[in-house]
Amino acid sequence: MKWNLFLPYLLVTAGVTYLIRMLPLTVFRREIKSRFVRSFLAYIPYAVLGAMTFPDVFYSTGDMRTAICGVAVAVLLAWRGRSLLTVAVAACVAVALAQGFLLLV
Amino acid sequence: MNIVFRQGIRHGIPIALGYLSVSFAFGMKAVSDGLTVLQAVLISMTNVTSAGQIAAVPLMVGGASLAEMALTQLTINLRYALMSLSLSRKLDGSMGTLQRMIFSFANTDEIFAVASSQPGKVGKYYLYGLMLTPWIGWSLGTFLGAAAGTLLPEFVRTALGIAIYGMFLAIILPPARKSRPVRFVVLAAVALSLCFHYIPGLNTVSSGFVIIICGVAAAALGAWRYPAEEDAA
C-alpha cells in the first residue's frame, strides 16, 4: 500500500486506540455513575467480538467445510475454558486435518 | 535489574506466547491484503490490539474514510476505556500522570487481566515489565508472519486464517457460558451481523459500520435488559 495513503490511517488507528486507553487513566478518574452506561461498556467487547467472528469465520479458510470443522473444535474448547493459545492452535489443526481429508476423498 | 520489573516480565511471557501465534496470522493476512512487511509491523507496534487491527486492514486497503476508521476503532476499542477506568484504582503512588501515559499504550485485554489479578496495588516497574514482553511478542509475531508467511505451504496458510477467530471465541465463550446477559449480548450481536451480511440492501453497508452498529446495538440491548449484571460480565 502507498505510504501517503497508509500513514494517515496509521495515525488515526494508533491515535484513537491510544486516547481511549490513556484518557480514562489520566484525566477522567471518576467512577461512572449510570448503571446503564457501565453495563453498556462491559457488554461492548462481547458484542463487538461476536459480530466480528460471525459469519466471517466461515469464510476465513476459503472453504466453508473446513471452516466449520475449525469452528466446531474452537467452540468446544473455548466453551470448556481452554486458553487463547490452545483454542487458536487447535482450530488451525482442525482446519489443516479437514483439508487433508478433503484431498483424500 | 529491579526484582519487581523482572516479575512483570515473567508474568508477561505466557501473554507474549499467545500473542506470537495470533500476530503471526495478522502479519500474514495484512501482507496478503496488500500492506508491506514494514507497514504491518508498524501497525502492531503502535496499536497493540488484535480486534482493532484486524478490522483496520480491510478498511485501509478498501480506501475507507478516516472518519469511518476512527469510529470503527472507537467502538471496537471502547472496552479499553473501561479497563483503564477499572485499573486506575489499582495503581500505587509511583504511577504519576507520565507513568500512566506510558502504561496506557499497552493496556490490552490480557495485560489488564493479569495486572488486575495481582494482590494489592501495582507500581510502575511491575507494569513496565508486564507490558514489555507481550509488546515484543506482538510485534515480533507480526514481523514473522508478514515476512515469512508467504514461504509457508498453502495448506498451512489457509489453516492459520482461522487462528484469530479461535482467539475471539476463547475470549467470548467462557463468560457467555457463565453469564446469561453476556450470552444474550453475543447472540444478539451475531444475529445482527448475519442480517448485515445476508439481507439484500443491508449487505452493502461497509465492514466498519457493521461492527459499529452491531456492537453498539447489541450492547445497548443487553444493558437495557440486564442493567444490574455488569459485574458478572
Q: What are the cell numbers at B109?
A: 485485554
* Residue A57 maps to a domain: yes
Task: Determine, yes or no, domain membership for A22.
Answer: no
Query: How many other CB atoms are there within 10 angstroms of residue A31's CB atom?
Result: 10
Chain A residues within an 8 Å CB radius of B34: 1
The answer on B184 and B152 residing in a single domain is no
Q: Same domain, yes or no, for B50 and B88?
A: yes
Task: Clarify whether residues B143 and B215 are in a common domain.
Answer: no
Whether B168 and B186 map to the same domain: the answer is no
A68 touches chain B (CB under 8 A): no
Is B168 exposed, middle or buried, given 0-12, 13-18 or 19+ CB atoms closer than 10 A?
buried
**The pLDDT of residue B232 is above 80:** no
- Residue B47 scores a pLDDT above 90: yes
- Could you tell me how many CB contacts below 8 A there are between chain A and chain B? 309
Write the residue in A9, A51, A92 that is nearest to B193 by C-beta. A51
Q: Name the residue range of residue B184's domain.
A: 179-233
pLDDT value for A44: 83
One-letter amino acid at B137 equals: G
Residue A19 domain flag = no
Together in a domain, B29 and B114: yes
Residues 6+ away with beta carbon under 8 Å from A34: none
More confident residue, B58 or B233: B58
pLDDT for B19 equals 86
pLDDT the model gives residue B102: 95
Same domain? For B122 and B95 the reply is yes
Write down the residue that cell numbers 486458553 correspond to. Answer: A83
Yes or no, beta carbons of B166 and A40 under 8 Å apart: no
Tell whether B25 and B66 lie within a shared domain: yes
Segments of chain A with pLDDT less than 70: 29
Average pLDDT over every residue of B141-168: 88
- B39 contacts A89? CB cut-off 8 A: no
Whether residue B165 sits in one domain with residue B74: yes
The dihedral region occupied by A82, where left means phi > 0, alpha psi between -120 and 50, and beta the remainder, is beta
Please check whether residues B58 and B130 belong to one and the same domain.
yes
If asked whether residues B35 and B60 sit together in one domain, one would say yes
Of A14, A92, A100, nearest to B25 (Cα)? A92
| Total domains in the fold of chain B | 2
Nearest to A41 among B63, B78, B210 (CB): B78
Instruction: Verify that B16 and B62 share a domain, yes or no.
Output: yes
Q: Which residue in A has a C-alpha nearest to residue B51's C-alpha?
A: A49
- Subunit contact B18:A85, Cβ cutoff 8 A: yes
Is residue A23 included in any domain, yes or no? no
Q: Report in angstroms the alpha-carbon separations of B20 from B16, B23, B60, B141, B147.
A: 6, 5, 23, 4, 14
- Alpha-carbon distance of B196 to B207, in angstroms, equals 9
Task: Please report the pLDDT score of residue A33 as a whole number.
Answer: 80
| Cα angle value B137/A73/A77 (rounded, 5°) | 65
If asked whether residues B127 and B144 sit together in one domain, one would say yes
- Rounded Cα–Cα distance for residues A101 and B103 (Å): 47
Higher pLDDT, B207 or B68: B68
Does residue A9 lie in a domain region?
no
pLDDT of residue A29: 67
Residue A62 in domain: yes
Structural domain containing residue A96 = 53-104
For residue A35, is it within any domain? no
A82 reaches B (C-beta below 8 A): yes
* Residues 6 or more apart in contact with residue B108 via CB below 8 angstroms: B15, B48, B49, B80, B134
Q: What percent of chain B has pLDDT over 90?
A: 60
What is the tens place of the pLDDT at every residue in B10-37? Answer: 888 878 887 888 899 899 999 999 999 9
For chain A, what is the domain count? 1
